[in-house]
């Protein structure tokens, strides 16, 4: 898998477990997008089936390439890094979240 496919795979695994709850909370709160902290949430859904031994390697590779970031945006997903803390987030708009859940 390329890094974008690998990240989408991990995100879909996460959404299999939490997607319906997230979608319903966003609907109630009127949110248009969500931020998922990479370090605390997504690592546990990573699998070596992606071809990467560490989830952080996927994120690092995407952040190092504007082309990969553009490809990720085609899924309605972007990686955001907090300037102060260095914390990495996936930002997903709700309509894209619904598509990723199917």
List pLDDT tens digits, range 60-90: 999 999 999 999 999 999 999 999 999 999 9
The pTM of the whole model exceeds 0.75: yes
> Six-digit token pair at 84?
């102060």
Average pLDDT of the chain is 92
> Where does the pLDDT of residue 102 fall: very low under 50, low under 70, confident under 90, or very high at 90 and above?
confident
Question: Model confidence at 99, in pLDDT bands (50, 70, 90)?
Answer: very high
CB atoms near residue 10 (< 10 Å): 24
Reported as half-sphere exposure (CB side, CA atoms, 13 A), residue 100 has a value of 29
Mean pLDDT of 25-47: 87
Q: Which pLDDT value is given to residue 76? A: 96
């Amino acid at each position: 898998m390329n890094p974008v496919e690998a990240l989408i795979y991990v995100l879909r695994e996460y959404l299999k477990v939490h997607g319906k709850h997230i979608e319903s909370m966003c609907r109630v709160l009127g949110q248009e997008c969500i931020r998922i902290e990479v370090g605390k949430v997504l690592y546990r859904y990573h699998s070596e089936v992606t071809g990467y031994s560490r989830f952080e390697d996927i994120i690092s590779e995407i952040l190092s390439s504007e082309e990969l970031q553009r490809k990720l945006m085609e899924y309605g997903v972007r990686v955001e890094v907090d300037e102060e803390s260095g914390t990495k987030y996936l930002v997903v708009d709700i309509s894209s979240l619904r598509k990723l859940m199917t």
